Amino acid sequence: MPGIRLIVGLGNPGLEYEDTRHNAGFWWVERIAAARKAMFNAEKKFHGLTTRAHLDGHETWLLKPQTFMNRSGQAVGALAGFYKITPEEILVVHDELDLAPGDARLKKGGGHGGHNGLKDIIAHLGTPDFWRLRIGIGHPGDKNQVADYVLHPARREEQELIESAVDKSLPLLPQILAGDFPAAMLKLHTKAAK
């Protein structure tokens, strides 16, 4: 199985969105970049902030689209196309309404579940067959409140749980990069069940 050459963190640009639930993907890639002292640079042709990092022996791109969530595919498609990165070599890290705060799940393919960032990436790549790391943010309980919910910061106790999901998924990076997804999933999903 091919390893991951591009990790995309989904979120919205700008200070007003920085701490909102929808930006969980940004937080994840920012943590990786900070740990490796990698600096993000604005790349106009990729519609985002990018950095190339040597992660556990792998040359990997990190991308934070700056197009706003519903146009994330523009950035992903541009970078993947330029560097000939296949959908199977892409990991998209995003907030997930259908998982409780504190949960994280890894999967390949599937639908977009109403997530506008995923919807646009699927449209630009022409396939849903990329990897996703889903960071649970919980659901407001009413679908009419979803837009407002994802664009607001989590309550303190929820935020701590979301951060703990980020913490417990970050150590899986070596397996994810090497393409050892069964081992990464076993580790993540077994821990999450405890």
- Please report which confidence band the pLDDT of residue 134 belongs to, taking 50, 70 and 90 as the band edges: very high
Classified as helix, coil or strand, 88 is: helix
Report all structural domains of the chain as residue ranges with CATH numbers, in order of start: 6-193 (3.40.50.1470)
Cα dihedral angle (69, 124, 106, 149), rounded to 10 degrees?
20
**What is the reported pTM?**
0.95
Concatenating the DSSP letter of every residue in 122-190 gives HHHHT-S-SEEEEEE----SSGGGHHHHHTSBPPHHHHHHHHHHHHHHGGGHHHHHHT-HHHHHHHHHH
| pLDDT, tens digit, 9 for 90 and up, residues 184-193 | 999 888 754 4
Residue list, annotated binding site for tRNA: 17, 68, 70, 116
3-class DSSP state of 16? helix
Per-chain mean pLDDT for the chain: 92
Which residues are marked as active site? 22
Could you give the CA distance from residue 97 to residue 140 in angstroms, rounded to a whole number?
A: 8
What pLDDT is stored for residue 73 in this prediction? Answer: 96
Taking only the tens place, the pLDDT of each residue in 109-128 is 999 988 999 999 999 999 99
Q: Can you say which residues are annotated as belonging to the binding site?
A: 17, 68, 70, 116
